Amino acid sequence: MCLNRLSRGFVLIAIGFTSAFGQSDLKFALNAQIASNAPPATSFSVNPQDGKPTKSVVLAIAYSLVLPGLGDVYAENFATGKYFMGADAGLWLAYGGVRVYGLWLKDDAKTLAVQSASANFDGKDDKFEVNLGNFADVLSYNDAKLRNREFTLLYDPKSSFAWQWNSDADRLHYKDLRNRGEASLKNSQFVLGALILNRVIAAFSAARSVSAYNRSVQTLGSWQLNARVLGGMLAADGIELTFSKEF
């Protein structure tokens, strides 16, 4: 009677464990049916889609806007992401170097003007620096403004706006240093634009990488392995294994 009750019963064993990479749970189900007239069968299936969830395109784009290439790394495409990261690092170095060089040239120009023209830059704007390089002294500057009837632009010769170059060569040297410094600072804006462009391109690349990753996860299919004891549990004559994969 005990055997008959067992022959009509079902035993279900479910085993769940987390994969070594901690991505998700692979679920194995073992079903055993003991019957007196039919050979028992045991089967389990593994679905890779349960182990690899899809990734967010929006999150990948956000990562790339903060740090180019990070979105591709998020999509497990470091082969592409490393180039965007390298480009970003190089552009930041270029931006800092160009700006430092430009400021250094302008500081040298001001030092020369103080020594050779007794110029005072305290409280002065860029227009004063330009005029300093275009005229030998403040009187020459005022004469030019009087001829053009630009009376509001006159400088007081007895104020801190007065200057007088020791030589025309010093004035031209000052003008060259200042112009090169200004050009360097303007070039840094192009580098800044390249930094922004690198982020935009990296965002598009990250979106494509995530889309490709999600497609690869969705097309993995499922695996199934079926096992059957030939001849029944009481008169076992072997085990039949059947492997299948869905595409």
For residue 195, give the nearest of 81, 72, 61, 92 by alpha carbon: 92
Instruction: Give the per-residue pLDDT at 126.
Output: 94
What was the pLDDT predicted at 17?
Answer: 32
Question: Which pLDDT value is given to residue 52?
Answer: 74
Q: Note the pLDDT of residue 241.
A: 65
Q: How far apart are the first and last CA of the chain?
A: 46
pLDDT in tens, 185-229: 999 999 999 999 999 999 999 999 999 999 988 765 555 556 666
* Average pLDDT score, the chain: 80
The strand pairing partners of 17, in sequence order, are 26
Instruction: Answer for the pair 112, 170: CB distance below 8 angstroms, yes or no.
Output: yes
Q: Average of pLDDT values for 79-106? A: 97
Long-range (24+ apart) CB contacts under 8 A made by 2-10 are: 3/36, 6/34, 7/34, 7/35, 7/36, 9/34
